[in-house]
Amino acid sequence: MSEGLDRVLFMALERWQEASRVPLLMQGVTVTLHGPFEALGMDPVYILHLDSDSREAEASLFRGGTVLLADLDKDSAEAQTSSIKVASDDELTALLANFTGHACRG
């Protein structure tokens, strides 16, 4: 079951990145998707990297639906991290939209 979920989440992340790349670039945010990686053990399969003048953020997607979020405010050097488990493509898409909105403000 996990392999089926993984495929759904990986495809959702790729679609989200493709659909969001240009609109975010127009807001001054560069979006880069790294992966897929072989990701044996505890390594992420995909890393979504967001970069703007004032912030840098990453969302790392692991097998099984775990997403590690990291956000760095470049001006204050304040960093925040969190880990969230998603169970569907809709949950992942909503998480990325919310994370991107928060991480790229500044």
Q: What is the pLDDT of residues 39-97, one digit of tens each?
A: 777 788 999 999 999 999 999 999 999 999 999 999 999 999 999 999 999 999 999 99
Reported as a single tens digit per residue, the pLDDT across 11-53 is 999 999 999 999 999 999 999 999 999 877 778 899 999 999 9
**How many other C-beta atoms can be found within 10 angstroms of the C-beta atom of residue 96?**
23
CATH number at residue 34: 3.10.450
Number of structural domains found in the chain: 1
65 Cβ neighbours under 8 A, 6+ residues apart: 5, 6, 9, 85, 86, 87, 92
Interatomic CA distance for residues 32 and 1, integer angstroms = 29
The residues pairing with 46 across neighbouring beta strands, listed in sequence order, are 61
Domain boundaries, position 85: 2-103
